[in-house]
Structure formats: C-alpha cells, structure tokens
Chains A and B, each alone.
Chain A
C-alpha cells in the first residue's frame, strides 16, 4: 500500500451556543449594525421603521462598521452588547 495525505487540516472550533431567545420585543433595545455595504443602510432603516411601528421598542440604536469586509472592532461589539437586547445586522452579500 502507498501512503496518501490529506492537505486540508481539520476544522475544530470549540462549540458555541446561541443566546437565549426572547418572547416579546416590547421594552427591548434594538441594535442595528450596518456593515456599510451598498444599500445595507436603506434595508436596515426600512426594517427599523417597520419594527418600531409594530412593537414598543425601548430604543433603536444604529451602528456602522468601520470597514465592510473586516470583522467589527471588539470595542464596537462590546458597546453593542452593552446597549442592546436584540440586534439585526446586514448585509452578507
């Protein structure tokens, strides 16, 4: 037999679970994270307006990434975590 090799390496991240879900949106602070790709802002503003008119949100906070392709700065992520109960983000395209 001849030895063969797998050049791919293993994907092995430690498993993470999602956050606890919410029941009602009333009284919650909504965070909106815009990654600044084209039209993400228009989409998110429309969603924000719809959510505000349909629910009693405590706040709607808008954040913009420095650069659409890079991961969000950890300080920004921490600020969003502190200031919001639910988040919507766009756009992966």
Chain B
C-alpha cells in the first residue's frame, strides 16, 4: 500500500522551536523527555538496521501500526539508544510480535504485565548491558534505552496509550523500561539460552509479559534447599496472576545465592524442578473456597484436581519457570517475577539471523542435558 511508504520525516518546524516540548505536545513521549531525532542520528540508526527505511519489520498491535526500519530507528533515537543496540531492539520487537506472545492481549490487559527483556550471549557485553549490580535499576544506558525503545514503540506504533487502548489498572515502573542481561560472566550456571538449545556464542533475547520483580531475601541458608525455599515462599501466594491464570514465570538468582547453589552441584534442571515441586497453593485458596459461587477455573489445566486441598502448582511445569542468574556479587537476594498467564507465551529469539536454535544442532533440548 502506498500509504505505508510515506516517509516519517515529512514535517519541519521553525528554527528555535523547543523540540523536547514539541515532541511532548505531539503526544509521542512516555512521560520523560525524548531525544529529538536529527537526520544524522536517524541515518546512523538506519544503517545499523541494514538500511532500507521502508522495509516493514512488523505490525504492532493493537493499533497494527507499521514498524518500518525508519520508524524503528526514530523510536530508538528518541529513546536515547546507540546504533549498536539496534539488533537487540529489532529482535525483541520481532519476538514480541510473534503470535505466541500475544502482544495484542498484553498491550490491552487490565493486568500490569509489561514485556521483560533478558539478553544472552556476546552482544550483551559488547554493547555494555548491565547484568550485575543494580541490573534491574537505573544507571546503564544500554539497559535503560533498549527497554525504553520497546515501550516507545508499543506506545507510538502500537497505540498502547494508558487509558486509551492500554487498560492496565495500575501499570508498573517496568513500563518505562524493563531490559537486562543475564550474568554469564560469573559462570555459575549454564546460560539460559544454552539450556534452550543455542550455542554459547549465539546472542538471544527472551521476552516475557511480566509483573515487577518480587524480592526474595535469604541471609541465613547456606544450602540450595534453604535458599530455594525462600523463593518458593514468594511463589506460593494466590495474589499474583500465575496462581489463577497459569502460564509462565521467571526466577532470578542473585550471584551469592547462585554461588551457594552451584557449589552444591545443583544444575538448572534441579533448581527449576525443586521450585516447581515445592511451591503452589491449594485449590481452596485459588477458588476462595467457593465463597462467590462454585469455581472450576478453566484457566488452569484440566489435569489439576479441584478438591479443596489439591495442590495447584504456580505454573503447569518446571519448564514454565524461566531461570536466570542476574545481579551484583554482594547481597543474598533473588527475585520471583510472575507472568501474565496462559494467554501469552514467552519467546526466545536469536539476535541477527535465525529464529530458532542453532542450525548446527542444539546441544540440549527437552531437558536431555540437564544443564
């Protein structure tokens, strides 16, 4: 359609115009000042994307706006990204627009879920992402602006404006930015993407619709079980969305906790299964003991028993727990990150190139390597 090819740079304003205010007034901001794009900045970003400004990368729901490379470049410049971040942002947007993720639902939901990005592989270090101290916090340009670029695209291209098409009751701070890298440098566990069948030297981005991290404190235990029991405690509440809507969740182990667990010889497989096996609620809890009418809850798998004391796992399988080692080397803290529910599936996508595990053959699929 010729309308799709109209350049996104067709307007101009008088010299001396306050551009920061101009972009605010047009309604293109996430609430923070944006970096006004210039021809040079947009060109540099476009070059990092491989040129071809009108190449359509995706359509972003619920507005189904056309995310051409030029539009992607513009939003990345506005976010404050450097051109070297372009492969990550593009891969993340493609992952978010995959059918399995159901971005349409995530954008519109009344739940506070927002896309969480976790980057694995050499690119994270190359572009200076923070996988260490304060990784989920502020202070790092790559983390801050990659996550912000995603949100600006979801707002501007996707039309997910609060109160308009984004009906989130509360929102959460991750809707400004929510992008981190896994701490592979410490070598405490196999990296997430290797567990899922990629080679260590591949770079990947994982996206999941996520609530904010819930801190898990444990300064007492010196073994895996004690630490993981605290994580299980954080998981075993019927307040988060997984409890009643199933789906996927994430667990982040801080390095001190991961060190203890790893020293005892526990692998990813052991950790995920321990967490799955030792967390959950009762059906009585998630049904409010039928106080408001008889509840079956079709969002939960049919194979769960529905007796009052039946154990209702937080997610249907240990494979629905996405485990990462992230954070600084001091502090005995981990985090539980609930998801949105069965209505969305996380997506893991290679950065630059293939959309699935390495063509040379995944080393570990379906848990066969027990990494």
- Asked if A and B form a direct contact in the complex, defined as CB atoms under 8 angstroms apart, the reply is yes
Contacting pair B105 A70 (CB below 8 A)? yes
| B1 on interface, CB distance cutoff 8 Å | yes
Contacting pair B28 A7 (CB below 8 A)? yes
| A49 on interface, CB distance cutoff 8 Å | no
Quick one: CB contact mask for B289-307 with A, threshold 8 Å, 1 for yes? 0000000001000000000
Contacting pair A4 B13 (CB below 8 A)? yes
| A67 on interface, CB distance cutoff 8 Å | yes
| B74 on interface, CB distance cutoff 8 Å | yes
Q: Whose C-beta in chain A lies nearest to the C-beta of B57? A: A9
- Minimal beta-carbon separation of B152 from chain A (angstroms): 7
Contacting pair B102 A11 (CB below 8 A)? no
Looking at chain A's contact residues, the main secondary structure is loop
Quick one: CB contact mask for A31-70 with B, threshold 8 Å, 1 for yes? 0000010000000000000000000000000000001111
| A78 on interface, CB distance cutoff 8 Å | no
Q: How far is the CA of A7 from the CA of B75 in the complex (A)?
A: 6
Contacting pair A8 B12 (CB below 8 A)? no
Q: Whose C-beta in chain A lies nearest to the C-beta of B105? A: A69
| B67 on interface, CB distance cutoff 8 Å | yes
- Which residues of chain B (36-73) have a CB below 8 Å from chain A? 36-39, 42, 60, 63-68, 71
| A18 on interface, CB distance cutoff 8 Å | no
CB within 8 A of A2: which of B10, B19, B74, B342? B19
A contacts with B, residue count (CB < 8 A): 20
Contacts of A7 in B (CB 8 A): 8, 28, 71, 74-75, 78, 152-153, 156-157
Query: Do A10 and B3 form a contact, CB below 8 Å, given A4-B19, A69-B105, A70-B343?
Result: yes
Q: How many A-B residue pairs have CB under 8 A?
A: 93
- Minimal beta-carbon separation of A12 from chain B (angstroms): 4
Size band of the B side of the interface?
Answer: 35 or more
Contacting pair A6 B66 (CB below 8 A)? no
| B183 on interface, CB distance cutoff 8 Å | no
- Minimal beta-carbon separation of A20 from chain B (angstroms): 26
Contacts of A8 in B (CB 8 A): 8, 28, 65, 71, 156-157, 159
Contacting pair B68 A9 (CB below 8 A)? yes
- Minimal beta-carbon separation of B7 from chain A (angstroms): 9
Contacting pair B102 A70 (CB below 8 A)? yes
Contacting pair A9 B157 (CB below 8 A)? yes
- Which residues of chain B (143-158) have a CB below 8 Å from chain A? 152-153, 156-157
Contacting pair B4 A12 (CB below 8 A)? yes
| B138 on interface, CB distance cutoff 8 Å | no
Contacts of B368 in A (CB 8 A): none
- Minimal beta-carbon separation of B264 from chain A (angstroms): 39
| A13 on interface, CB distance cutoff 8 Å | yes
- Minimal beta-carbon separation of B276 from chain A (angstroms): 22
Most-contacted residue by chain A among B8, B15, B37 (CB, 10 A):
B8
| A3 on interface, CB distance cutoff 8 Å | yes
Q: Whose C-beta in chain B lies nearest to the C-beta of A36? A: B298
Quick one: CB contact mask for B269-294 with A, threshold 8 Å, 1 for yes? 00000000000000000000000000
Contacting pair B343 A11 (CB below 8 A)? no
- 20 A-B residue pairings within 8 Å (CB atoms): A1-B12, A1-B13, A2-B12, A2-B17, A2-B19, A3-B39, A4-B11, A4-B13, A4-B22, A5-B11, A7-B28, A7-B71, A7-B153, A7-B156, A9-B156, A10-B6, A69-B104, A70-B102, A70-B343, A71-B104
Task: Kindly list the 4 A-B residue pairs having the minimum CB-CB distance in the complex, ordered from nearest.
Answer: A69-B343, A69-B105, A9-B65, A1-B12
Mark B residues whose CB is within 8 Å of A: 1, 3-4, 6, 8-15, 17, 19, 22-23, 28, 36-39, 42, 60, 63-68, 71, 74-75, 78, 99, 102, 104-105, 109, 152-153, 156-157, 159, 298, 342-344
Mark A residues whose CB is within 8 Å of B: 1-14, 36, 67-71
